[in-house]
Amino acid sequence: MSEASEARRRELGVRLHELPLVIGLVVLWMMLWHEVSLLSVVSGIVVAVIVMRVFYLPPVELAGRFNIWYVLRYVGYFIWHLARASWEVAWLAVRPGPPPKTSIIAVKLSTRSDFIITMVGLTNSLIPGSLVAEVDRFQSTLYLHVLNTPTQREITNMRREVRKIERLLVRAVGSKEEMRRLR
């Protein structure tokens, strides 16, 4: 195999990884214009390519694993905690007494995957009562603003919950190396 054909094959692989981003940007473009037509698709493709070249983002490396059982467990965990935390935050908002104590906590994750770190952060931000204040990619640390943490026990419980989300996500879509690190 010649060097030129190898370079073309690698370039094609990179372009195929960008295809979901192009499709997403074109769909977003059509949603913004409230129109599905040939002109909106073509102009969406042009805008998507320009955006991808001007605002270059490094590709997100995925492990290539997908365990449906742990994906379902993650989704169930998320929905349960979303409902429970919504009630807890609603009660904190209407109950009599002083405002609840809050904390900024650091949670060191075991994964180095940008994708899983991002998913853990998004999951925690979507569950009421916690919000990602900062992410340290190089140390794999999330800094969370957490509601209702009057004692060290609540802080420890929150760290445990974040690590549980990480474990579920690693088991669902993490690499084999990350799976070994969990054990």
Give the residue numbers spanning the domain of 136. Answer: 68-182
Same domain as 159, residue 87: yes
Instruction: Going residue by residue through the chain, which has 183 residues, state the pLDDT in tens, using 9 for 90 and above.
Output: 567 676 666 655 556 667 878 888 999 999 999 999 999 999 999 999 898 888 877 666 667 788 999 999 999 999 999 999 999 999 999 999 999 999 999 999 999 888 899 999 999 999 999 999 999 999 999 999 999 999 999 999 999 999 999 999 999 998 888 888 877
Same domain as 118, residue 41: no
DSSP 3-72: HHHHHHHHHHHHHHHHHHHHHHHHHHHHHHHT--SHHHHHHHHHHHHHHHHHS--PPPPP-S---HHHHH
Residue type for 52, please? Answer: M
Cα angle 133, 130, 145; round to 5: 40
Same domain as 84, residue 40: no
Same domain as 38, residue 118: no
Q: Does the predicted TM-score (pTM) go above 0.85?
A: no
Same domain as 73, residue 44: no
